[in-house]
Amino acid sequence: MNTILNRIKSPKDLKDCSMKELSLLSKEIRSLIIEVVSKNGGHLSPNLGVVEMTIALHYVFDALEDKIIWDVGHQCYTHKILTGRKDQFSTLRQLDGLCGFPCREESEYDIYNTGHASTALSAALGMAVARDKENKEHQVVAVVGDGSLTGGVAWEALNQIGHLREKLIIVLNYNEMSISLNVGAMSKYLSYLVSGQHYLRMKDHAKTILKAIPAVGWPMIKAGRAIEEVIKKTFFPGLLFEELGIRYIGPVQGHSIGSLIEVFKDAKAHEGPVLILCVTKKGKGYPLAESNPAKYHSASPFDIQTGESTSTDKRTTYSSVFGKTVVDLADKDEKVMAITAAMPDGTGLRDFSQRFPDRFFDVGIAEQHAVDFATGLALSGYKPVVAIYSTFLQRAYDQLYHDVCLMDIPVVFGLDRSGIVPDDGPTHQGINDIVYLRHLPNMIVMAPKDENELRHMLKSALSYGHPVSVRFPKGKVIGVDQDGELNVIPLGKGEVLKEGKDLLIAFGSLVHPALEAAAKLEDDGIELAVVNARFAKPLDEDLILSYARSGSVVLTVEEGVTAGGFGSAVRELLDRKKIFDIRFKSIGLPDEIYPLGKVDQVKKMFKLDPDGLAQQIRQFYGK
């Protein structure tokens, strides 16, 4: 079938298309995105909302010369399709396939790898400054949206952008439902008059005429300025950006390619920073996503007709167990609070937000604020539980150290998406949290072997009176029975799951694979005691030392980076106790960038599945 999309080999081909053809192209791209995401999973709603915007950007700008940076990057599917990757698009989020985020290693059109929010403005400003120092003339464009302006980093950048006044274009992708009430027909008209290039030319021309009139010219100019300020403050939604020194244009209909092209061309002609507010609709073109954009923000494979998941695995997720447990704990203790950074659904806290709306706080994409906000609650006698992804908590490292751990404030951190994370690639791999938490003073680091132990750990974490992190993986639970009553786990105590001669001590999600590996090794004459560590800090020193006999073997297993991780903690313990006459091996992940793929695929690649663990241990024994 001879479609418009088949003619687009690179963004340059857009120049040969009429407005009608570009409109048809947007429909074809939406169909392709829906088709692929329904099979592979992915960020559906954000990408359906920016199709026209992306077409217009590539129509106006030269993406090989100009610099286009996508904030967060989860809305870059149309960009990938238009930049020569249409034929590979079916491999989206698959092993050896296209990443769901911008990837410099993947294409020369991707100039900045983004997976976390609020970073694009700072990077764009840096590129704009470098351009001007080198006397170059290319454009720098930052596409920001989906809550990125709730992040403090973005506002730090805006402050500097307004100060330096470098030529820079900010495209703010704003969801229709989030536009405030003052954005209507009158507001659109006034903002166009105040901000548009036509208005600016008229204003400059009027000033020239008025200056030539003796006595009354300057008073009239001053009066005109006063009237303009009144209009801005009464009706103008972009006043804040104007006050920061950034020219505001908008709102612009984000699904009108013609309007977008016109505005982008106007912005190119402006000297200095410009912010264009584009009003879009998440999930545009797919009614189910339009009516429930949150559900399809990051969707698992689904049936296009019904929107229902096509997964045959009906087990619940660790996130769901976490959320339900926090609700149960809050039912019994009115001091329990829940905090999330723009992830009420992803962290399983949606039910909590509905049951206890006055005890639930979504702070937006502001992880640093989330941590410090929790410290204030804890110091006032409340029990905050901060639900946050492992990779996102990295953004609040200083707050963890300076504001929580140094003061030994009892804040509980539920670290979702810890360990290997499927589909999203390197930016979302939660493989560093053991390392960056273990060395913090007063921090307790825990990980459950299954969903039932997760529930007990959350109960325990609220009772210890210290900062606590509880890490758990993304995905389905193991499927064990759950106890009715929750108990407090003795601080720093592991459990022996299998007796044996040498020690295999596993932390968190790899406990059950370690048990399977130990069973496989019995046929080779390798008798391993398997211990569920439960804690990476504090360690169960007595239990570990009871197995660390002269000439014995001590093996550690973790789903995280081994450099400074759980295995390092055990090795440090043995060194402190001057136990050197043993054979020791730490099994986990190397400190490198991890490939895109499913959890099972990546685990097998790094030999962290039961067969891989058995193979590594067998080789260590020389068998």
Q: Which residues carry out catalysis?
A: 282, 367, 395
Look at the alpha carbons of 605, 611, 612, 615 in this order and tell me if their dihedral is positive or negative: negative
Cα 363 → chain centroid: 14
> Is-contact 172 275, C-beta < 8 A?
yes
Q: Write the Ramachandran bin of 84: left for phi over 0, alpha for psi from -120 to 50, otherwise beta.
A: left
What gap in Å lies between CA 267 and CA 261, rounded to an integer? 10
Sheet holding 412-416, edge to edge: 360-362, 336-340, 383-389, 412-416, 468-471, 444-446, 535-537
What gap in Å lies between CA 553 and CA 23, rounded to an integer? 67
Token representation of residue 422: 């499927």
> Is-contact 44 295, C-beta < 8 A?
no
**Partner residues linked to 339 by β-bridges:** 361, 386
What gap in Å lies between CA 582 and CA 549, rounded to an integer? 7
Reduced to 3 states, what is the DSSP secondary structure of residue 23? helix
Q: Do β-strands 535-537 and 444-446 pair in parallel, antiparallel, or remain unpaired?
A: antiparallel
Token representation of residue 453: 């132990």
Reduced to 3 states, what is the DSSP secondary structure of residue 391? helix
What gap in Å lies between CA 394 and CA 399, rounded to an integer? 10
What gap in Å lies between CA 63 and CA 82, rounded to an integer? 11
Q: Residues with Cβ < 8 Å from 514, sequence gap 6 or more?
A: 504, 506, 530, 557, 613
What gap in Å lies between CA 239 and CA 606, rounded to an integer? 53
**Partner residues linked to 157 by β-bridges:** none
What gap in Å lies between CA 185 and CA 272, rounded to an integer? 27
For residue 408, the tally of other CB atoms under 10 A from its CB is 12
For residue 119, the tally of other CB atoms under 10 A from its CB is 24
Token representation of residue 549: 């006999």
Token representation of residue 229: 């300020």
What gap in Å lies between CA 8 and CA 20, rounded to an integer? 15
Q: Write the Ramachandran bin of 418: left for phi over 0, alpha for psi from -120 to 50, otherwise beta.
A: beta
